[in-house]
Amino acid sequence: MNRALATEDVLKNWFNEVKEHLQKLNLLGIHPSRVFNLDESAFFLVPKADSVLARKGSKSVYKVVHGDEKESITVLFTVNAEGTMLPPMILFWYERTPAIVTNNLPPGWIAGNTERG
């Protein structure tokens, strides 16, 4: 659905339809720890602006001048209705993620592989 079309009435109707569907399946009493939401965020490797994302205090920061402006890394963030967050997952386009990459992930993060990243 186009975000511009998401009126209050449209949203209320959507929630009512979901509630009816869950009632039919007898799923309204599910414990919040079993209800998850996942958000996918893309971090572009060739920024359009004159700034780059870098660790605070970095002495050497590089900017890719020539490259695929659409190349990005996808990160998945998953949280349940109870507020527990699963480890973030970075999706790479490798067939098999190199050890140098997995060994340098932030603590608690995991790597996944897809054909397109």
Residues 13 and 38 in one domain: no
Which structural domain, as residue segments, surrounds residue 5?
Answer: 1-30
Residues 26 and 3 in one domain: yes
CA distance 91 to 117: 5
Assess whether pLDDT exceeds 70 at residue 68. no
Residues 54 and 107 in one domain: yes
Residues 55 and 70 in one domain: yes
Residues 76 and 101 in one domain: yes
pLDDT tens column, 72-111: 788 999 999 999 999 999 998 878 888 998 899 999 999 9
| pLDDT confidence tier of residue 65, bands split at 50, 70 and 90 | low
Residues 65 and 11 in one domain: no
Burial of residue 68 (number of CB atoms within 10 Å: 0-12, 13-18, 19+): exposed
Model-level pTM?
A: 0.63
Q: Cα 8–78–84 angle (5° rounding)?
A: 100
What's the average model confidence in pLDDT over 54-59?
Answer: 78
